[in-house]
Amino acid sequence: MAGSGPVAQSLAPKKARIEIIPLIDVVFFLLATFVLFTLSLNRIQSLTVNLPVATPPPPTADPELPTIIQVTDGDSVYFNHELITMSEVFPRIFQYKQSTSAPKVLVSGDDRAKFGSLIQVLDKVREAGIQQVSVETAYRGTGR
């Protein structure tokens, strides 16, 4: 029997295998080369810029602070830290507008204020004809 022995087995064709380790090495080499090449293409160019310097605004002749109206839960409102009811807001605002040349109002609400009550106060300020109205978004304790 001529084909059965150790010599015949060594002459049989070997199975092809894909070696993955050299493939990974080649891919990482190409990736590193690509990254280094793209980084060398970026030239950093800059211009000198003379930025303006902030200066405080000049003091005004009338440094009057705004009137603070703070809305709380229920019908409670603080008008310049004085507790009043919602029905007293419009007469106070109207009196303030008559006594001041440039009335300013800051409307605030504490953590228990209802949105509807705040809108009512803003409507009364608008009804009184005050143009300079701000709404405070920072937390302020009740009555402060």
Q: How far is CA 88 from CA 75, 82, 84, 92, 140, in A?
A: 10, 11, 6, 6, 22
Does residue 37 sit within a domain?
Answer: no
Is 10 among the domain residues? no
pLDDT band at 58, cuts 50/70/90?
Answer: low
Question: For the chain, what is the domain count?
Answer: 1
How sure is the predictor about 4, in pLDDT bands with cuts at 50, 70 and 90?
Answer: low
Does any domain span residue 129? Answer: yes
Strands (E), 1-144: 67-71, 76-79, 82-85, 104-109, 132-135
Taking residues 9-25, report their average pLDDT: 80
Inside any domain, residue 82:
yes
What pLDDT is attached to residue 60?
54
Q: 95 lies in a domain? A: yes
Count of C-beta atoms within a 10 Å radius of residue 106: 16
pLDDT at 61: 47
Q: Kindly report the CATH number assigned to the domain that includes residue 108.
A: 3.30.420.270
Q: What is the pTM of this model?
A: 0.54
Residue 48 lies in a domain: no
Inside any domain, residue 140: no
- Cβ partners under 8 Å of residue 27, min gap 6: none
Domain extent, residue 77, equals 67-135
* pLDDT at residue 29 in the model: 94
Overall average pLDDT of the 115-134 stretch: 89
What DSSP assignment string belongs to 4-21? -SHHHHHTSPPPP---HH
In a domain, residue 92? The reply is yes
pLDDT single digits (tens) 80-94 = 888 998 889 999 999
